[in-house]
């Protein structure tokens, strides 16, 4: 490494209150290289990207661009420094036409047109309003807009997600040529196939820290998976539980039956069953359609196709109230979505009781009190700050969101990443609780971004990638490396010695 | 493309509606002529400026509840300054009042940016404050206006050789078009104008595109204040006095903005649609009056139309969001 | 979520938290201070008669401020209360000429229910901003009232003696209006704290999404709320006409702005989810005393409006800081 890096970030720290998003991240990009930035969910990739592009400011750390310290305070600063991002959600102004969007960012039109043609869209009318352009094309336009100003460092966040195969191919080709012409690209992707075909090196983040920089060569994906998981591989093998307690197969009808469920372009043709007394895990990388799956089952959004059956009866949910009546409770991943933060623990737990019109009258405070207290005791919620839920710790807040549905005696609980950002002790309690619920014959659908939880809690694992169910694991096989591979769309059979790099084209990775 | 067509189609449809209403007016009252049209335009003038003030803020993704109060304050300020003063003094009054509107509007914007209180609450508070200030300036309707100012909106623009056409071009209309165009056209063509649409359409995307969001918002409110001041002046010019209690300009402006195809939520639409819409709304009122309907009933019908339009607009916005 | 565990809580933060927890104490201190200032400026003014008078004028304001409190808890506002109160007062005063007072009162409350229903549907179903919606219906209501006035111009108006007794009368120096106000206040406080409906008002205003996930149907809550708010405003009109004794078409209009200010001062957040009625009652008292004070200082009406506007803005910004600090 004799050449000086184009971009050199070291010791980057970012905290949000007590939550540490980045503790010591570094990233060094050489001229002419395509550099992959990798990490599991919540490792801090997106925070690092936001800092590099001026969207937020770091608490500490140095960022050198071409050896000079630059203080990037805003996206405009980053642009001037030659650093251009293409975000996952396109940043074209939806109500302006393409030409105005170019003018707004000071992008020259002719190079833009040239890039658009290059990227495989021959017939763009730049007078089209951005909102009317399909998402895939919009992402390509965003890329073309960035390329047109010839940035030194191009930052691509999941660039090929949601792109049809032909466009994705063109994009990858263009990105590769960027490297050849001496410019650098930071490439964030969940797809090993692309990374191996495209990138020179990869920086791996774990828990807000850079844990390694590797050269991309055949067989390296196993090392990357190991780095992303860290020391946890060894640990979890010990704690894996058997699915012996799983639901008795005698149950004829599943509690919840999902068949061919579709939601827009995000979720395609998902089918699975959930039995009584079962905890089924859902594993997926960010944005693979799991959000839509849970929202559709909870009645928050209407699916565009497929059927949902509860106890064998087909149901249609127009409002979460319909799902609740069918005994399906939804615990969202973001606690701020579920709680009325300025209200007390008691009111939050009792909220579903008052929802129906017939319960609008005077509240039987004693009866409500006893139900709430038993739920609080069962979950061991620390009620010292119970006057306002927002003063509770994150873990206790999460318990309140679950306690609500235990008090309401919901038959099916949809838990979306309930242990995100809470302390270890509380996590253990939540695992125990979910198992208890299953033992009482209730069914739980449990999405988690922390793979080690799967073997602690679940009876079965459904892996979703690109809006489809790509695999269903029995819990015995669901160790972390296997899940990680599956979540990245790697086939279950692929062994370390072969590696997918040897045989890109035969890999059954679902390209949408 | 379709959206472009649809939006222009909406404005075109409004224009057609306006012409149809004119024809209906002629049918109701065969004697309806250029003089009546002139008084219609004079009546529309303050409303049109109120609508312009509201439009620019709504496009930027906000709402300005203080439009009516701003007009009242600028109106009474102008009227009381010109009361008993010389004709030439008005040459100073007009730019002073316009500058006042600009500054007060900017204060609105700054309060929103600095306090981070939602725009609807901030402008509600400034509505109270400006109303109070108007009452302090002039406790009851009064004041005066320079004669030459009055003259700028009375009568028609003579076009030599074409008396037939010139009779249908009242000075008030010319004044309105000039005032709006002088600000709107350069704005629409500038990067600032684009930025205003951008922050209204998506603040996040605008921020990522390097738009200075706070500054743009303040400028949008300042321009809104400027239009409000023009409305206040127009009010004084057409009535000859200043009135500290504003008319129903706020609701009318919101209704016209919605009817004019500017989505409450921002980023969409232009100035022409709302202006045509305000003409339509006023002409409906004229027609109701000509039909010898009790003016109070007219007020009810007018109010009901405005509320229905706003409800319709909110419904469309809600649909769009889903 | 906060770093307060690491470092000692600074005084400013503690003060904020105290204000957020016990908003009543600083309010009462403020009220007492205002009364003291009044007494200093006009020695001897604070006596039994003044006290009864202040309470009498504070009551209609407090009930209207109750409408604002409940709507503001859901993140809304009801600007049509002034028009509704005026309408019911005027209609009652004119109908009572030909009808039994009880019938007249029932007739008078019909438009209140209608306007509340329209408000509720507009806000709850069509999702119009409450400010715009209630402003619109108040405009329509005023128009309707003007039309109505034409039809009854010949018959004249009168005020039933028992309303005058209720509005202005004193029993052993205590205003009779308390006979109406105390039950209403108790009912509002009970509704907010001890009924399912009250819980939902807080929940919807605090986090509409969370309420939805708990199975709450927004439009039902909002429609019921605005109808209740309108009916309360109508009742206030009946009381207020007994106090003012002169039916006019802008009877209760001047109370609208103070009613919003009273609720905001009383600690109800205009963003929803936080507040209560007891604070509002004290807020109404504060504003009534403040108005007396401003009158004594010969402050014009304009200055009063400016002051109220600044209070709303300042208090809202301050509450925002308190919430954000968490």
Cα distances from C38 to residues C61, C80, C147, in angstroms, run 20, 33, 43
- When CB atoms are compared, the residue of C203, C217, C224 closest to A351 is C203
Mean of per-residue pLDDT scores for chain C = 87
For the cut 50, the answer to whether the pLDDT of residue B228 exceeds it is: yes
Tell me whether residues C135 and B63 touch, CB distance under 8 A.
no
CA distance A198 to A215: 12
DSSP symbol at A92: S
Does A272 share its domain with A392? no
For the cut 50, the answer to whether the pLDDT of residue B1 exceeds it is: no
Q: How far is A128 from chain B (nearest CA, A)?
A: 5
Is the alpha carbon torsion for A217, A219, A225, A227 positive or negative? negative
ipTM for this model: 0.82
Q: What is the pLDDT of residue A244?
A: 44
Q: What is the pLDDT of residue B242?
A: 87
Share of chain C above pLDDT 90, in %: 43
**Which H/E stretch holds residue A100?**
helix A98-104
C18 band by pLDDT with thresholds 50, 70 and 90: low
**Residue B275 within any structural domain of the chain:** no
SS3 for A177-239 is HHHHCCCEEEEECCCHHHHHHHCCEEEEEECCEEEEEEECCCCHHHHHHHHHHCCHHHHHHHH
* Domain residue limits at C65: 56-324
Tell me whether residues B208 and A75 touch, CB distance under 8 A.
yes
**SS3 (DSSP) at B246:** coil
C320 in contact with A, Cβ within 8 Å: no
Q: What is the pLDDT of residue A233?
A: 46
Question: Region B200-228: what's the mean pLDDT?
Answer: 92
Token pair, residue B1, equals: 């493309």
Determine contact, residues C69/C277, Cβ cutoff 8 Å: yes
* Domain residue limits at A354: 338-410
List, in sequence order, every residue forming a beta bridge with A218; answer none if it has no partner.
none
Q: How far is B307 from chain C (nearest CA, A)?
A: 6
Contacts of B59 in chain A (CB under 8 A): none
**Residue C48 within any structural domain of the chain:** no
**Residue C225 within any structural domain of the chain:** yes
**Residue A155 within any structural domain of the chain:** yes
For the cut 80, the answer to whether the pLDDT of residue B147 exceeds it is: yes
In this structure, the dihedral spanned by the alpha carbons of residues A87, A93, A97 and A98, taken in order and rounded to 10 degrees, is -20
Chain segment C187-200, per-residue pLDDT in tens = 999 999 999 999 99
- When CB atoms are compared, the residue of C1, C3, C214 closest to A352 is C214
At residue A184, φ and ψ (nearest 5 deg) are -110, 155
**CATH code of the domain covering residue C272:** 1.10.3470
Tell me whether residues B136 and C140 touch, CB distance under 8 A.
no
- When CB atoms are compared, the residue of C2, C203, C217 closest to A343 is C203
If contacts are CB pairs under 8 Å, which of residues 202-241 in chain C contact chain A? 202-203, 206-207, 209-217, 220, 224
Determine contact, residues A475/A239, Cβ cutoff 8 Å: no
Q: DSSP for A336-403? A: HHH--TTS-HHHHHHHHHHHSGGG-SB--HHHHHHHHHHHHHHHT---TTTT-GGGS-HHHHHHHHHH
Tell me whether residues B254 and C132 touch, CB distance under 8 A.
yes
CA distance C317 to C323: 10
**Residue A236 within any structural domain of the chain:** no
Q: What is the pLDDT of residue A497?
A: 38
- Give the residue from chain C lying closest to A355, CA to CA: C216
Tell me whether residues C270 and B294 touch, CB distance under 8 A.
no
Does A29 share its domain with A154? yes
C5 band by pLDDT with thresholds 50, 70 and 90: very low
Chains touching B (at least 3 CB pairs under 8 A) are A, C
**Residue A494 within any structural domain of the chain:** yes
Does A135 share its domain with A272? no
- When CB atoms are compared, the residue of B132, B300, B311 closest to C128 is B311
Pick from A52, A95, A97, A132 the residue to mutate for testing the B interface (most B CBs within 10 Å): A95
Pick from A93, A100, A263 the residue to mutate for testing the B interface (most B CBs within 10 Å): A93
Determine contact, residues A284/A465, Cβ cutoff 8 Å: yes
Closest residue by Cα to residue A281 from A420, A464, A403: A464
Does A419 share its domain with A281? yes
Tell me whether residues B117 and C129 touch, CB distance under 8 A.
no
For chains A and B, count residue pairs whose Cβ atoms are closer than 8 Å: 67
**Residue A166 within any structural domain of the chain:** yes
- When CB atoms are compared, the residue of C5, C197, C273 closest to A342 is C273
Cα distances from B41 to residues B22, B46, B153, B171, B176, in angstroms, run 13, 9, 9, 9, 9
Question: Region B108-120: what's the mean pLDDT?
Answer: 89
C209 in contact with B, Cβ within 8 Å: no
- Give the residue from chain C lying closest to B252, CA to CA: C136
**SS3 (DSSP) at C33:** helix
Q: How far is A8 from chain B (nearest CA, A)?
A: 22
Contacts of A73 in chain B (CB under 8 A): none
Contacts of B250 in chain C (CB under 8 A): 135
**Residue A105 within any structural domain of the chain:** yes
Closest residue by Cα to residue C210 from A338, A344, A400: A338
Q: How far is A91 from chain C (nearest CA, A)?
A: 26
Q: How far is B208 from chain A (nearest CA, A)?
A: 6
**Residue B125 within any structural domain of the chain:** yes
Tell me whether residues A356 and C215 touch, CB distance under 8 A.
yes
Q: What is the pLDDT of residue A240?
A: 44
**Residue A176 within any structural domain of the chain:** yes
Q: What is the pLDDT of residue B320?
A: 65
Q: What is the pLDDT of residue C188?
A: 95
Instruction: Give 3-state DSSP helix, strand, coil % of chain A, rounded to 5.
Output: 40, 25, 40
Where is the domain boundary, A166, A196, A230? A230
Q: DSSP for A428-471? A: HHHHHHHHHHHHTT-EEEEE-S-THHHHHH-SEEEEEETTEEEE
Chain segment C258-311, per-residue pLDDT in tens = 898 899 888 888 888 888 899 999 999 998 998 888 888 888 888 888 988 898
Q: What is the pLDDT of residue C187?
A: 95
CA distance A288 to A161: 9
Burial (CB count within 10 angstroms: exposed 0-12, middle 13-18, buried 19+), residue C100: exposed
CA distance A376 to C235: 43
For the cut 80, the answer to whether the pLDDT of residue B317 exceeds it is: no
Does A52 share its domain with A184? yes
Give the residue numbers in B contacting A (CB under 8 Å), as ranges.
1-4, 191, 194-195, 197-198, 200-202, 204-212, 267-268
CA distance A299 to A322: 7
Chain segment B124-145, per-residue pLDDT in tens = 899 989 999 999 998 888 888 8
Mean of per-residue pLDDT scores for chain B = 86
**Residue C89 within any structural domain of the chain:** yes
Determine contact, residues A338/A300, Cβ cutoff 8 Å: no
Question: Region B146-167: what's the mean pLDDT?
Answer: 78
Tell me whether residues C132 and B317 touch, CB distance under 8 A.
no
Count the neighbouring beta carbons within 10 Å of the beta carbon of residue B113. Answer: 17
- When CB atoms are compared, the residue of B128, B244, B315 closest to C309 is B128
**CATH code of the domain covering residue A482:** 3.40.50.300
Does A195 share its domain with A73? yes
Domain count, chain A: 3
Q: How far is C204 from chain A (nearest CA, A)?
A: 8
If contacts are CB pairs under 8 Å, which of residues 17-36 in chain C contact chain A? 21
Domain count, chain B: 1
Pick from C79, C123, C132, C146 the residue to mutate for testing the B interface (most B CBs within 10 Å): C132
At residue A134, φ and ψ (nearest 5 deg) are -60, 150
**Residue A269 within any structural domain of the chain:** yes
Q: How far is B32 from chain A (nearest CA, A)?
A: 41
Contacts of B244 in chain C (CB under 8 A): 302
CA angle (A13 as vertex; A10, A15 as ends), nearest 5: 170
Chain segment C191-250, per-residue pLDDT in tens = 999 999 999 999 999 999 999 999 999 999 999 999 999 999 999 999 999 998 888 888
pTM of the full predicted structure?
0.80
Q: What is the pLDDT of residue A493?
A: 60
Please give the distance of CA A268 from its chain centroid, rounded to a whole number: 17
If contacts are CB pairs under 8 Å, which of residues 155-174 in chain C contact chain A? none
At residue A199, φ and ψ (nearest 5 deg) are -95, 155
Domain count, chain C: 1
**Residue B52 within any structural domain of the chain:** yes
- When CB atoms are compared, the residue of C140, C305, C307 closest to B307 is C140
Q: What is the pLDDT of residue A495?
A: 46
Q: How far is A402 from chain B (nearest CA, A)?
A: 28
Q: Which residues of chain A, if any, have pLDDT below 70?
A: 1-2, 17-18, 41-42, 162, 231-252, 385, 492-512
* Domain residue limits at B121: 36-249+261-270
**Which H/E stretch holds residue A256?**
strand A256-263
Token pair, residue A230, equals: 């860290």
Tell me whether residues C313 and B111 touch, CB distance under 8 A.
yes
Q: What is the pLDDT of residue B100?
A: 95
Chains touching A (at least 3 CB pairs under 8 A) are B, C
**Residue A237 within any structural domain of the chain:** no
Is the alpha carbon torsion for A488, A489, A493, A497 positive or negative? negative
């Amino acid at each position: 490494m004799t050449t000086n890096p184009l971009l050199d970030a070291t010791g980057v720290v970012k905290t949000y209150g007590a939550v540490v998003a980045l503790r010591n991240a570094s990233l060094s990009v050489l001229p002419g290289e395509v550099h992959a930035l990798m990490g599991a969910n919540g490792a801090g990739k997106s925070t690092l990207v936001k800092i590099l592009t001026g969207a937020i400011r770091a608490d500490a750390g140095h960022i050198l661009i071409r050896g000079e310290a630059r203080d990037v305070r805003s996206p405009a600063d980053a642009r001037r420094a030659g650093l251009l991002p293409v975000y996952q959600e396109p940043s074209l102004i939806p109500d302006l036409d393409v030409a105005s969007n170019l003018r707004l960012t000071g992008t020259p039109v002719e190079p833009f047109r040239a890039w658009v043609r290059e990227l495989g869209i021959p017939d763009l009318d730049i007078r089209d309003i951005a909102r009317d352009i399909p998402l895939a094309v919009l992402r390509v336009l965003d890329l073309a807009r960035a390329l047109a100003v010839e940035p030194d460092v191009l930052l691509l966040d999941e660039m090929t997600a949601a792109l049809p195969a032909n466009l994705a191919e063109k994009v990858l080709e263009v990105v590769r040529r960027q490297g050849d012409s001496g410019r650098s690209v930071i490439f964030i992707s969940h797809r090993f196939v692309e990374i191996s075909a495209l990138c020179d090196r990869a920086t791996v983040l774990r828990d807000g820290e850079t844990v390694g920089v590797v050269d991309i060569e055949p067989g390296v994906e196993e090392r990357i998976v190991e780095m992303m998981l860290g020391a946890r591989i060894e640990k979890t093998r010990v704690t894996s539980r058997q699915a012996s307690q799983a639901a008795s197969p005698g149950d004829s009808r599943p509690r919840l039956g999902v068949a061919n469920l579709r939601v827009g372009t995000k979720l395609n043709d998902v089918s699975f069953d959930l039995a009584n007394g079962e905890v089924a895990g859902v594993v997926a990388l960010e944005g693979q359609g799991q959000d839509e799956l849970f929202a559709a089952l909870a009645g928050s959004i209407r699916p565009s196709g497929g059927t949902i059956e509860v106890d064998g009866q087909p149901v249609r949910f127009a409002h979460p109230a319909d799902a609740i009546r069918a005994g399906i409770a939804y615990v969202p991943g973001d606690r701020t979505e579920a709680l009325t933060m300025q209200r007390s623990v008691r009111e939050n737990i009792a909220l579903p009781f008052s929802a129906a019109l017939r319960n609008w009258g005077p509240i039987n405070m004693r009866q409500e009190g006893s139900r709430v207290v038993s739920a609080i005791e069962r979950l061991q919620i620390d009620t010292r700050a119970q006057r306002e839920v927002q003063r509770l710790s994150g873990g206790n807040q999460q318990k309140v969101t679950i306690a609500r549905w235990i008090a309401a005696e919901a038959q099916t609980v949809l838990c979306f990443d309930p242990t995100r950002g809470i302390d270890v002790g509380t996590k253990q309690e939540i695992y125990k609780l979910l198992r208890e619920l299953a033992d009482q014959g209730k069914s739980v659908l449990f999405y988690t971004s922390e793979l080690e939880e799967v073997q602690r809690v679940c009876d079965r694992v459904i892996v979703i990638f690109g809006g489809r169910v790509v695999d269903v694991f029995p819990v015995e096989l669901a160790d972390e490396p296997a899940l990680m591979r599956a979540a990245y769309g790697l086939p279950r059979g692929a062994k370390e010695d072969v590696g997918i790099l040897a045989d890109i084209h035969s890999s059954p990775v679902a390209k949408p | 493309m379709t959206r472009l067509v649809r939006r222009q189609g909406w404005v075109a449809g409004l224009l057609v509606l306006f012409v149809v209403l004119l024809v209906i007016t002629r049918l109701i009252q065969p004697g309806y002529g250029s003089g009546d049209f002139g008084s219609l335009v004079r009546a529309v003038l303050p409303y049109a400026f109120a609508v312009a003030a509201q439009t620019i803020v709504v496009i930027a993704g906000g709402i300005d509840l203080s439009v009516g109060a701003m007009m009242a304050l600028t109106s009474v300020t102008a009227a009381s300054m010109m009361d008993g003063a010389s004709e030439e003094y008005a040459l100073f009054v007009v730019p002073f009042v316009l500058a006042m509107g600009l500054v007060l509007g900017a204060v609105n914007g700054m309060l929103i940016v600095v306090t981070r209180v939602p725009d609807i609450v901030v402008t509600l508070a400034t509505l109270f404050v400006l109303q109070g200030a108007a009452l302090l300036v002039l406790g009851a309707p009064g004041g005066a206006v320079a004669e030459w100012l009055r003259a700028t909106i009375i009568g028609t623009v003579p076009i030599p050789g074409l008396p037939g056409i010139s009779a249908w071009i009242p000075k008030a209309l010319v004044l309105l078009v000039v005032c709006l165009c002088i600000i709107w056209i350069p704005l629409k063509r500038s990067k600032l104008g684009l930025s205003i649409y951008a922050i209204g359409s998506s603040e996040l995307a605008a921020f990522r595109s390097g738009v200075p969001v706070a500054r743009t918002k303040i400028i949008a409110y300042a321009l809104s204040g400027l239009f409000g001041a023009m409305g206040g002046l127009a009010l004084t010019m057409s009535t000859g006095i200043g009135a500290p209690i504003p008319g129903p300009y706020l609701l009318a402006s919101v209704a016209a903005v919605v009817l004019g195809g500017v989505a409450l939520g921002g980023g969409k639409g232009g100035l022409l649609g709302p202006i045509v819409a305000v003409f339509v709304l006023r002409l409906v009122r004229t027609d109701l009056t000509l039909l010898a309907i009790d003016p109070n009933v007219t007020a009810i019908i007018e109010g009901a139309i405005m509320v229905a339009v706003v409800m319709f607009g909110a419904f469309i916005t809600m649909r769009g969001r889903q | 979520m906060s770093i307060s565990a690491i470092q000692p809580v600074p005084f400013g933060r503690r003060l904020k938290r105290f204000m957020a927890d016990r908003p009543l104490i600083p309010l009462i201190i403020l009220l007492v201070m205002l009364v003291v200032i009044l007494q200093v400026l006009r020695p001897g003014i604070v006596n039994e008669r003044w006290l009864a008078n202040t309470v009498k004028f504070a009551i209609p304001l407090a009930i209207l401020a109750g409408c604002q409190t409940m709507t503001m808890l859901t993140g809304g506002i009801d600007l049509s209360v002034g028009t509704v109160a005026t309408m019911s007062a005027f209609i009652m005063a004119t109908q009572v000429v030909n009808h039994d007072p009880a019938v007249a009162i029932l007739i008078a409350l019909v438009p209140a229910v209608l306007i509340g229903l329209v408000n509720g549907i507009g806000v709850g179903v069509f999702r119009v901003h409450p400010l715009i919606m209630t402003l619109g219906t108040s405009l329509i209501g005023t128009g309707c009232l003007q039309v109505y006035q034409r039809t009854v111009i010949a018959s004249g108006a009168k005020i039933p003696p028992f309303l005058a007794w209720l509005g202005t009368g004193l029993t052993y120096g205590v205003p009779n209006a308390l006979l109406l106000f105390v039950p209403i206040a108790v009912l509002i406080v009970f509704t907010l704290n001890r009924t399912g409906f009250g819980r939902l008002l807080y929940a919807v205003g605090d986090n509409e999404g969370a309420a939805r996930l708990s199975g709450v149907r927004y439009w039902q809550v909002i429609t019921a709320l605005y109808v209740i708010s309108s009916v309360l405003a109508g009742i206030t009109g009946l009381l207020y006409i007994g106090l003012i004794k002169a039916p006019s078409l802008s009877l209760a209009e001047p109370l609208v702005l103070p009613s919003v200010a009273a609720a905001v001062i009383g600690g109800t957040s205009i963003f929803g989810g936080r507040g209560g009625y007891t604070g509002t009652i004290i807020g109404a008292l504060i504003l009534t005393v403040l108005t007396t004070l401003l009158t004594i200082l010969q402050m014009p009406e304009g200055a009063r409006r400016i002051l109220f506007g600044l209070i709303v803005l300042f208090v809202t910004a301050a509450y925002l800081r308190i919430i954000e600090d968490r």
